[in-house]
Amino acid sequence: MPITKRSGPRYGSKNSGPRIGQLSMLIDERETAKALGVTVACLRRWRWAGTHLPFIKLGNRLVRYRMEDVQAFIDSNLRNSTSDQGGVA
C-alpha cells in the first residue's frame, strides 16, 4: 500500500491549534501537594469542601491542577508579618 500525504494541518504549522505556550501546564496531586507542602489527603479535603484551589477533573478519576492556579494560591497567601491578614496593604 503506498504512503499518502495527509491533507490536514501538521503539528507546528500555523493552523495546528493552540501551541504549548498557550496551554496551561497541568500537574498532578502529588506534585501539587509537594509544591504547597501539604499532603495529598489535604488537597482531597480541600476539593471535597470546595475551598482553596480550583482543579480540573479529567474523566472519572484523574485530577490535575493548573500551575498558574497553584502559583496564584501561593501569591495570595503571601504575608509580610504574623499580624498581616492579607488583602490590600
DSSP structure string for 14-29 = TTSS--GGGSPPEE-H
pTM for this predicted structure: 0.67
**What are the pLDDT digits (tens) for 41-67?**
999 999 999 999 999 999 998 999 999
Cell of 46: 480541600
* The pLDDT value given to residue 19: 55
Q: Residue 86: left if φ>0, alpha if ψ -120 to 50, beta else—which one?
A: left
